[in-house]
A = this chain, B = another copy of it.
Amino acid sequence: MSDDTYWTDDPSELLRVQPGFRLSQQPTDGTPGFAGGKREGEKALARGAGRLADLQEQLFACGREGEPRSVLLVLQAMDTAGKGGIVSHVIGAMNPGGVQYAAFGAPTPEEQAHDFLWRVWREVPAAGRIGVFDRSHYEDVLIGRVRKLAPPDELERRYGAINAFEKELAQSGTTILKVMLHLGKDEQRKRLESRLNRRDKLWKFNPADVDERLHWDDYQEAYQLAFDRTTSAYAPWFVVPADHKWYARVAVQQLLIRALEALGLEWPLPDYDVEEQKRRLAAS
């Protein structure tokens, strides 16, 4: 069972983008549904890690036996919102052998010579795997839109292409979770400042981060539009308040746990005779 000690409400309902959702009205510093503060959050995270690892192993086992199910977690956010921390602390608790992690940076010339979904298709999770997209095809309607990297018609076309792509994935057995880590603008300034003040974090800072920051409102609008156009029953969006790193981590972990539990996985039955194998083994 999912850990109900701290969750007063199901975050997969609470954080889910519903019709009429307005990003601009969502607080970034809340901890909805979680009864506790940072200490309890860290406890819940540690406890959830074992549960998540078990579910992942079961998904993997089912995949090995030919079941087509997989899970895809899409992570989108403004810089410093905590994607990296979620990858380390939530995803990192699972067996790397069962996780397919893909980071999507600025496209290479080869990638640019293809449709925007080409590089994404290559990274979708295989049966039994948990795929994690650190940024994704949504960049093509976020920075793509804000920075006008494609003609207006092409930008418009992409929402439909994304829906068709995600529907195809979902129908072939992939459970899709799309997460936007929702960070406050002031909190971002603090986090960028702290990078500039630490010798061991300077490498994480890029002057382009400030350039992007100057387009903050445009990005918020582009996110709103993406939610309006690509929220679907088969590929829901979740907006996770991210000013508290501990909350964002435990919330995303819980979204994954509940999505995996909803699959109702069972350990696969062996396709060999257990007693016969015991005899062979004893004789070997």
- Interface on A for B, CB 8 Å cutoff? 53, 58, 61, 64-65, 84, 87-88, 91-97, 99, 101, 103, 132, 134, 189, 192-193, 196, 199-200, 202-207, 210, 213-214, 267-270, 272, 274, 277-278, 280-282, 284
Closest to A61 in B: B203
CA distance A284 to B213 in the complex (A): 7
Interchain CB contact (< 8 A) of A277 among B87, B207, B270: B207
CA distance A213 to B284 in the complex (A): 7
B84 contacts A196, C-beta separation under 8 Å = no
A210 contacts B95, C-beta separation under 8 Å = no
Contact residues of A: prevailing secondary structure: helix
CB distance from A100 to the nearest CB of B (A): 9
Stoichiometry, copies per complex = 2
Residue with the highest number of chain B CB atoms closer than 10 Å, among A95, A189, A213: A95
CA distance A140 to B91 in the complex (A): 32
B96 contacts A203, C-beta separation under 8 Å = no
CB distance from A67 to the nearest CB of B (A): 11
CA distance A203 to B63 in the complex (A): 10
A193 contacts B278, C-beta separation under 8 Å = yes
Contacts of A202 in B (CB 8 A): 267-270, 274
Contacts of A282 in B (CB 8 A): 189, 193
A97 contacts B93, C-beta separation under 8 Å = no
Contacts of A88 in B (CB 8 A): 53, 95-97
CA distance A193 to B284 in the complex (A): 12
Interchain CB contact (< 8 A) of A97 among B58, B87, B95: B87
Contacts of A196 in B (CB 8 A): 274, 277-278, 281
CB distance from A171 to the nearest CB of B (A): 25
